[in-house]
């Protein structure tokens, strides 16, 4: 998540993934079906049958991970080195870049698990997808804690709030392994993905490209305090988006007669 682009692209991926789950959950509630396997339109005939049944979210995860990796490598001119020898000492290089790449790799593996579970072994390895999501969150947490070692002031506060949302998301992902078809768990997961993604994008704007044109100050207590207030606004906005997704789904499936 180095630089503005890293925060923006990764945050946007999580945000859109949360919106997808919100729509997925809304459809299951409206159609009164299990949340894991909502009714879908059968594609029993035709040349493009298999393509239409593909689980596109998994492929989008893989694609977004590759884009993030390319952006990260481009930021250091594709000269990624793990260990360099200087004066008879071995020093680890590009600490933050390796942390970012590890995060992107977990997102990539989660996408691979989605594709395998949904396309090759449907309804048999859904737990694989859920385990991959939970594992990616548990990789996020220690890496983000280590990522904050040399930060202070505003940047530290922004990332502490991000870790708070990520910890709750990891907890919900873990509970889902034992309660895979509970609507409340899916609602919390979608909500936390939306909040985490939107806040990650907000961090990119606040640290690198402030909308107001004025740089946020680490030593200004007012800026640090307002960051917490801004995070609360993101939480409220996330709840509003969840309600809006449900309202649009009702309009789409019940009143416009769309196929479930």
Percentage of residues of the chain with pLDDT beyond 70: 75
Cα radius of gyration (the chain): 20
| Residue 130 in this model has a pLDDT that exceeds 90 | no
CA distance linking residue 260 with residue 258, whole number of Å = 6
Domain assignments of the chain as residue spans, ordered by start: 3-255
Residue 71: its pLDDT value, please? Answer: 75
Of the listed ranges 61-65, 115-119, 223-227, the least confidently predicted one is 115-119
Claim: this prediction has a pTM higher than 0.85? no
| C-alpha distances in Å from residue 164, one per residue of 130, 196, 199 | 21, 9, 11
Between helix 3-30 and helix 183-207 the angle, nearest 10°, is: 160
CB 57 within 8 A of CB 63: no
What is the average pLDDT value for the chain, to the nearest integer?
77
Residue at token pair 């907890």: 171
Question: Closest by alpha carbon to 100, among 127, 126, 132, 74?
Answer: 74
CB 190 within 8 A of CB 154: no
Per-residue pLDDT tens for 157-214? 888 999 999 899 989 988 888 877 788 888 899 999 999 999 999 998 888 888 777 7
Across 11-28, average pLDDT:
85
Question: Closest by alpha carbon to 164, among 185, 135, 195?
Answer: 195
Q: Where are the alpha helices (DSSP H) in the chain?
A: 3-30, 49-52, 56-75, 95-115, 126-147, 153-178, 183-207, 221-250
């Amino acid at each position: 998540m180095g630089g503005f682009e890293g925060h923006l692209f990764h945050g946007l991926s999580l945000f859109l993934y949360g919106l997808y789950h919100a729509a997925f959950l809304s459809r299951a509630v409206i159609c009164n079906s299990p949340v894991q396997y909502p009714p879908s339109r059968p594609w029993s005939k035709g040349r493009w049958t298999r393509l239409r049944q593909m689980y596109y979210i998994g492929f989008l995860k893989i694609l977004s991970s590759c884009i993030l990796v390319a952006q990260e490598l481009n930021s250091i001119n594709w000269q990624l080195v793990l260990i360099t020898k200087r004066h008879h000492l071995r020093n680890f290089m590009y600490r933050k870049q390796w942390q970012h790449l590890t995060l992107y790799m977990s997102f990539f593996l989660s996408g691979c698990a989605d594709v395998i579970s949904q396309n090759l072994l449907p309804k048999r390895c859904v737990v694989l997808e859920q385990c991959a999501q939970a594992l990616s969150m548990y990789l996020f947490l220690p890496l983000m804690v280590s990522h904050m070692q040399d930060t202070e002031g505003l940047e530290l506060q922004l990332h502490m709030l991000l870790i708070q949302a990520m910890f709750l998301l990891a907890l919900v992902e873990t509970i889902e392994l034992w309660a895979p078809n509970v609507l409340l768990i899916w609602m919390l997961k979608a909500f936390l993905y939306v909040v985490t993604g939107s806040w990650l994008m907000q961090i990119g704007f606040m640290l690198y490209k402030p909308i107001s044109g004025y740089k946020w100050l680490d030593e200004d207590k007012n800026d640090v305090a307002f960051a917490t207030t801004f995070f609360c606004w993101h939480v409220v906005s996330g709840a509003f988006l969840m309600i809006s997704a449900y309202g649009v789904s009702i309009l789409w499936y019940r009143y416009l007669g769309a196929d479930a």
